[in-house]
Amino acid sequence: LVKVVTAGMSEEDGDFCVGVCLQVFLTTILVTCTICIYGTIIPIKYSYSSVSGMLHAMLFGVLITLMVASYLKTWLSDPGTVTRDWSPPKEIASELEEEGGVKSSQSQFCKRCKIQRPPRSAHCRQCGKCVLRMDHHCPWVQNCVGAANHKFFFLFLFYGTITSLYYSIMTFIFLAHVLEQHLMLQQLGTWMGVVLGMLILVLVLSMMQGGLCIWNGFLILKNQTATENYELDSIASKNRNSKKKVKVTHKYDVGWYRNTQSVMGDNPAYWLLPLGIVRTDGLSMGDLGRDAVELQPLKEVEGTEQSSSPFAPLSPRTADAHVA
């Protein structure tokens, strides 16, 4: 289907077209589920004159509002673009090679943007720019997920999962009520088929979103990007098939609480709200200080060999390969 839609288009135009199609798909599901809840499920099972009916209507409204707000923030927020005036700190600037190569693995040079970029950043082919703490480019939100909007992406997955599960539970309760009251399908109208169809679709989406939410939560607690985790798995796989083991310490891991702060913000009271801006310079990741970069350096131990791990930041070639 994707090949048919993007036939004859350039790669960039094809990616944009796929993203638009996914957004239309999500919007259709969102609108249809909202109509099912407020137009069929609540009126028939509870009625708006009851306290339970009003509570369910309010709760679903709050959940879907938080989900949509998180989505819009992810889509419309700058993910953390590396500016052209960025330069490496003085203590490592002298270590840069003439052509932008890096001896200390503390900085990188982007050949596409022609700029120096901080560690953990990478160039996104779809967006055409370098992004701080680059995680991945998400076609569902038509934007990169980076240092400045990773919080909103996680909240979109979180509230999307909760909203999907809540819709599914409400639908099951509604179906039980229909069977108990021996209501005929003709009495319920054509929306009965739509409710059932949406139930199946939402259940599938809830499993997908739930899995991604748990996975992203794990990465946030460890202060890892998807690319870094991929590299770590690659090293672990090589270790299993090699006599010489490579020991790697992720030097950005400063404890689960500070790791979470670096993505969700300093104040825990706002962690679950799609508000605020996570300030970052690409090195400290949330104003945590230089120790967040230099803590826990890679160590060589007896019987092991040291590797060019992502946990010294990725080389420009490796980073761009995974993002593209």
3-state secondary structure of 288: coil
Query: What pLDDT, on a 0 to 100 scale, did the predictor assign at position 278?
Result: 66
**If you average pLDDT over residues 279-290, what whole number do you get?**
44
Q: Which residue has the higher pLDDT, 264 or 99?
A: 264
Contact 154, 262 (CB under 8 A): no
Q: How confident is the model at residue 7 (pLDDT cuts 50, 70, 90)?
A: low
Query: What pLDDT, on a 0 to 100 scale, did the predictor assign at position 172?
Result: 94
Q: DSSP of 92-107, one letter per residue?
A: HHTTB-TTS-BSSSS-
User: The pTM is what?
Assistant: 0.79
For residue range 113-161, list pLDDT tens digits in order. Answer: 888 888 788 898 888 899 988 899 999 999 999 988 999 999 999 999 9
Query: What pLDDT, on a 0 to 100 scale, did the predictor assign at position 107?
Result: 57
Query: What pLDDT, on a 0 to 100 scale, did the predictor assign at position 127?
Result: 87
Best mean pLDDT range from 71-80, 96-105, 287-296: 71-80
Average per-residue pLDDT for the chain: 77
Least confident segment among 17-26, 65-74, 233-242: 233-242
Residue 287 has pLDDT above 80, yes or no: no
Least confident segment among 24-28, 64-68, 279-283: 279-283
Residue 23 has pLDDT above 70, yes or no: yes
Positions of E strands within the chain = 108-110, 115-117, 122-124, 129-131, 136-138, 143-145
Q: State the DSSP H helix or E strand holding residue 305, giving kind and residue range, or none if neither.
A: none
Q: How confident is the model at residue 104 (pLDDT cuts 50, 70, 90)?
A: very low
Query: What pLDDT, on a 0 to 100 scale, did the predictor assign at position 68?
Result: 96
Name 78's Cβ contacts closer than 8 Å, sequence gap at least 6: 148, 149
Catalogue the active-site residues.
138
Q: How confident is the model at residue 10 (pLDDT cuts 50, 70, 90)?
A: low
Residue 240 has pLDDT above 70, yes or no: yes
Query: What pLDDT, on a 0 to 100 scale, did the predictor assign at position 9?
Result: 58
Sign of CA dihedral 248, 80, 264, 289: positive
